[in-house]
């Protein structure tokens, strides 16, 4: 079994917290940030299990195994 570290981004939309893994474009949600993170972990695990079963897990390994990941926020005006 391979173990990967993925990025989790969580933000609030109205009364729910949305969570997203940008490496895989997988998202979930929950009533709290902790629940959103827990639900995202489950969604990512299911996604990767399906990718493995379909034989496409190697398509994601570069982004999942990268030792250098950076996140930031920037302000933009529209």
Tens of pLDDT, residue by residue over 57-72, are 999 888 888 888 888 8
| Sequence spans of domains, the chain | 9-65
Note the pLDDT tens digit of each residue in 12-38: 999 999 999 999 999 999 999 999 999
**In this model, does residue 46 exceed pLDDT 90?**
yes
pLDDT of residue 1: 76
Q: CB of 29 within 8 A of CB of 18?
A: yes
C-alpha dihedral, 50 to 56 to 62 to 64, nearest 10°: 0
**pTM attached to this predicted model:** 0.88
CA distances from 16 to 7, 8, 12, 57, 59 (A): 20, 16, 6, 31, 32
Query: Strand order of the sheet with strand 16-21?
Result: 9-13, 16-21, 26-30
């Amino acid at each position: 079994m391979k173990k990967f570290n993925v990025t989790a981004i969580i933000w609030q939309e109205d009364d729910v917290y949305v969570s997203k893994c940008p490496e895989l474009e997988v998202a979930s949600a929950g009533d709290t940030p902790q629940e959103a993170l827990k639900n995202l972990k489950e969604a990512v695990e299911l996604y990767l299990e399906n990718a493995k079963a379909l034989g496409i897990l190697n398509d994601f390994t570069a982004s999942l195994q990268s030792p250098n990941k950076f996140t930031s926020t920037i302000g933009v005006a529209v």
